Structure 1
């Protein structure tokens, strides 16, 4: 790319990843459903590249009823087989079942008066954590804690590595590299 902007190294060469980096990655998400969708997609990404998930994201949204947790919570064995037969998404029985289980956990939290966004953002006092942007990590203390809390509420496929990547993607943790043009821009978006 010839725009001469400093970006995180992982986004420098691939136009798809560059666009995702510049427009989405690390931007704080406060909407509960959108946060939940990203968590589910991060689960599907496990063992694959994020680029693969980005290329399939629209197909996932169509296959999973727009990622409306209340709809997905009602999925049964027929829906699992339908999804396993859908060649446009990642077809993993364990990941599909986890998405359904996580929809049920999300709905349960909501029924109990616990807003998913508040649950996540309260963990960081409603402000993105700013990491050094120098040493990329696959885990964080916040990710470890939230992983356990999600599991205690009935979520699955939410280990510390998946949760840390999700927190980075949703702007809960600002992990843009020190010279990246997005680093300070994202911090300015930190308040409600």
Structure 2
């Protein structure tokens, strides 16, 4: 590992952060999914939900349980989850394949209802997707080492505040910054990572700075 940057060059010659360099599941997630744009309602609702469940846990734990989460929560269809009753809460609380945390389960149901409500909110253009992406900053971080990656931003603080006002739960500034990283709203790949700039949302060149596409 490069001690200065925190990157590890794998056997394939590609540089990745340590968290994505050992576990094959995390490596695949990093190489193919993390940081790529998510602009559909169901996909974004799933990401909001899983980021909420991840609070206090490792992302590897959530990623391994994601197939079970999808099955348990009707593939994160907001309309289906919004219709859940107390019986569904109890069903989920007995499902050992997922994270059985009542507060997070009920928050996911509340968030589904809030997602559906956003479709008819005259103050929001584009529902959940439009609201979340409206907090895309003018510039993205350009970290050279892991220690330079922020854990929140003014935009994630504002997004969290807005979502809470719309009825969402488990959407604090740190959780929302992680969401923004995961769905491509910001690019926090290290400059030397092979994934830097791969989302197409940001064109990043070490010598020329950051430009939005």
Q: TM-score range by the shorter chain?
A: over 0.9
Q: Does 2:140 match 1:109?
A: no
Distance 2:187 2:107 in 1: 27
Q: Does 2:141 match 1:131?
A: yes
Listed as ranges, the matches of 1:64-75 within 5 Å are: 64-75=73-84
Shift, 1:61, TM fit: 0.4
Which of 16, 20, 33 is equivalent to 1:11? 20
Gaps of 5+ in 2: 1-9, 204-211
Give the greater-gyration-radius structure (CA): 2
Distance 2:68 2:197 in 1: 33
Indicate how the Cα distance of structure 1 residues 188 and 39 shifts in structure 2: closer, same or farther if over 3 A, else same.
Answer: closer
Indicate how the Cα distance of structure 1 residues 189 and 33 shifts in structure 2: closer, same or farther if over 3 A, else same.
Answer: farther
Gaps of 5+ in 1: none
- How large is the RMSD of aligned CA atoms in angstroms? 1.8
Q: Say which structure, 1 or 2, has more relative contact order (CA 8 Å, 6+ apart).
A: 1
Residue of structure 1 in register with 2:189 after alignment: 176
Distance 1:166 1:105 in 2: 17
Shift, 1:186, TM fit: 2.1
Which of 134, 137, 154 is equivalent to 1:122? 134
Listed as ranges, the matches of 1:31-110 within 5 Å are: 31-110=40-119
Which structure shows the higher strand fraction?
Answer: 2
Shift, 1:182, TM fit: 0.8
Residue of structure 2 in register with 1:165 after alignment: 178
TM-score (norm 2): 0.84
Distance 1:172 1:21 in 2: 16
Q: Deviations over 1:55-92 (max 9, x none)?
A: 00010000001101111111111000000000110000
Which structure shows the higher helix fraction?
Answer: 1
Shift, 1:183, TM fit: 0.7
